[in-house]
Homo-oligomer: A and B are copies of this chain.
Amino acid sequence: MAISLVPPQGDTFADYLGALRGRIDRRLALLLSASADENDLIGAAMKAALLSPGKRVRPLIVVLAGGQLGAREAPLLDLGCALEMVHAASLVLDDMPCMDDARLRRGLPTVHLRFGEDIAVLTAVALLGQAFKVISSASELPSLLRARLVGVLADAVGAQGLVRGQYQDLREGGWPRQVGEIAETNHLKTGALFAAALEMAAQVAHARDDVRMTLREAALELGQAFQLYDDLCDGASDAPLCKDLGKDAGKSTLVALLGQEAARQRLHGHVQRIDTLLSGVYGPDCLLLRLLCLLFPRLY
């Protein structure tokens, strides 16, 4: 276990996580400044999309999962930042009028409302490009691994990953769907980047194949759990993670299909399986699981 990942004596895990989020935010800002000129609208929009306050779940997953497997933090940070760039790009595009037509994101007007739709599209493309650039030039990693990780990111983005999930959600979300179909969309939409995060962590840590497979399975459960939690929050007013409340009205979510209580039980099932899978890899003191306790406060 890498020493830096053990919270110092006396600090709480929340303090430790806050400090790690600070390192992630500083690294994001630095990596962005290498590609974006703040004096033009694209640079300003990239900054708004990427650096507005966020939970940084994907970078946290990469750093915690890879660090506790023995990998160094610096390359994990860069990979996490690349995933955050892709995530930010996907949010910019998802919010556009031709997609979810959202007006607010993280409490602020969405990028297309602030900067225009043309700038929003170009900003997303620039963030995607920069994400690949960051991985290709992560100089601490051997080149073979860098090339492989570019492939991992490309698969997570592409026609069988995020893109497909968003397509299913947009084009099929308004029709009656089976539980299995909704679960597949949730997997693609949310699980694709989680799976990439854990795959990257495992590869950088040179984890054994069985560990990689277990982490992959955990990522898919995590994607389902996140989407369910989000859907459950969509109907609530006091949920700490909520945004764009009521946006899913009319969408065939699992909550709409199964009802709140059954959806909640389903969520618990996912969380229990995540617990079992991650404990199998990391033992009883799994940092990722401690992260989840903080991210799903109403479940624990």
- The interface of chain A, by Cβ under 8 A from chain B, is 35-37, 40-43, 46, 89, 93, 96, 98-99, 116-119, 121-122, 124-126, 128-130, 132-133, 135-137, 142-144, 146-148, 150-151, 153-155, 157-164, 166-167, 170-171
Tell whether A129 pairs with B150 under 8 Å between CB atoms, given A43-B159, A99-B118, A160-B35: no
* Contact between B119 and A159, CB atoms less than 8 A apart: no
Closest residue of chain B to A162 (Cβ to Cβ) is: B125
Tell whether A99 pairs with B121 under 8 Å between CB atoms, given A43-B159, A46-B159: yes
Tell whether A121 pairs with B136 under 8 Å between CB atoms, given A129-B158, A150-B150: no
Q: In the bound complex, what is the Cα–Cα distance between A87 and B147 (angstroms)?
A: 22
Q: Point out the residues of chain B lying under 8 angstroms from A170, CB to CB.
A: 118
Q: Point out the residues of chain B lying under 8 angstroms from A143, CB to CB.
A: 142-144, 146-147
Q: Point out the residues of chain B lying under 8 angstroms from A118, CB to CB.
A: 98-99, 167, 170-171
Can you list 6 A-B pairs with a CB-CB distance of less than 8 A? A42-B163, A42-B164, A126-B159, A129-B155, A132-B132, A133-B158
* Contact between A129 and B154, CB atoms less than 8 A apart: yes
Q: Point out the residues of chain B lying under 8 angstroms from A40, CB to CB.
A: 164, 167
* Contact between A154 and B136, CB atoms less than 8 A apart: yes
Tell whether A125 pairs with B128 under 8 Å between CB atoms, given A36-B159, A119-B167, A150-B147: yes
* Contact between A128 and B128, CB atoms less than 8 A apart: yes
Tell whether A163 pairs with B122 under 8 Å between CB atoms, given A98-B117, A171-B41: yes
Q: In the bound complex, what is the Cα–Cα distance between A128 and B166 (angstroms)?
A: 16
Of A146, A148, A163, the most chain B CB neighbours within 10 A belong to A163
Closest residue of chain B to A122 (Cβ to Cβ) is: B163
**How distant is A196 from chain B, measured CB to nearest CB, in Å?**
12
* Contact between A167 and B122, CB atoms less than 8 A apart: yes
* Contact between B167 and A129, CB atoms less than 8 A apart: no
Tell whether A132 pairs with B153 under 8 Å between CB atoms, given A121-B96, A144-B143: yes
**How distant is A218 from chain B, measured CB to nearest CB, in Å?**
24
Q: Point out the residues of chain B lying under 8 angstroms from A161, CB to CB.
A: 129
Q: In the bound complex, what is the Cα–Cα distance between A152 and B89 (angstroms)?
A: 20
* Contact between A167 and B116, CB atoms less than 8 A apart: no
Q: Which 4 pairs show the lowest CB-CB distances between chains A and B?
A: A133-B154, A98-B117, A129-B157, A129-B158
**How distant is A117 from chain B, measured CB to nearest CB, in Å?**
4
